[in-house]
Amino acid sequence: MDINELWIGDPIMSRKSGKSGTFEGVHAGGKVRLLSNGKIYLIDPKQIVKYEEKAIKSIVQNKRTKYKEVENFGDTIDLHIERLNPTLANSNPVHIVDYQVRKCKSFLDFTIDQRKLSAIIIHGKGTGQLKLEVINLIKSYDEVVSYHEINNGGAQELRLVYY
């Protein structure tokens, strides 16, 4: 796209990261200034696309791992392995955590695609490893604007917003 066709305030999106916001001019180094959630990001002009609502949805969906099992995804997911897949209960702990994180990602992708405003992820207390993995995953989603512990630290309650 020719960045000379953009006006300040035009809605733009980075193809690479999926970040969307408004065009805020060109940085001295030639990168595009993208304002998103109150922060300025410098983006390679080749990665910029001027978008309409339809375009942003298809680009973001292509970046997400499609959820394979959505039969019981409501507003809450319980990541205890006994609930998710009891046959894995005696597996290697590393494999179990990997499976739980993948299911959590599928849940978050589903939640966002359904444009839900809140969700709960039950990770349990345990050693805290799964909790750390869940929090790192939550932080990678721009749609999650806040999260906090509930159930005495055994779960995270999320608030989501869509632009």
pLDDT of amino acid 51: 64
Is 64 part of a structural domain of the chain? Answer: no
Question: Is 81 in the same domain as 45?
Answer: no
pLDDT of amino acid 73: 65
pLDDT of amino acid 64: 52
Residue 128 maps to which CATH number?
Answer: 3.30.1370.110
Question: Is 80 in the same domain as 44?
Answer: no
Residue 81 structural domain = 76-160
Question: Is 91 in the same domain as 17?
Answer: no
Are 14 and 31 spatial neighbours (Cβ–Cβ below 8 Å)?
Answer: no
**DSSP E strand boundaries for the chain:** 11-14, 20-26, 32-36, 39-43, 48-50, 76-78, 118-122, 144-150, 155-160
**Predicted TM-score (pTM) above 0.85:** no
Beta bridge partners of 150: 155
pLDDT of amino acid 52: 53
Start-to-end Cα distance in the chain: 22
pLDDT of amino acid 7: 85
What are the per-10-residue average pLDDT scores of the chain (163 residues)?
81 80 88 89 88 46 50 81 88 89 92 92 90 94 93 93 85
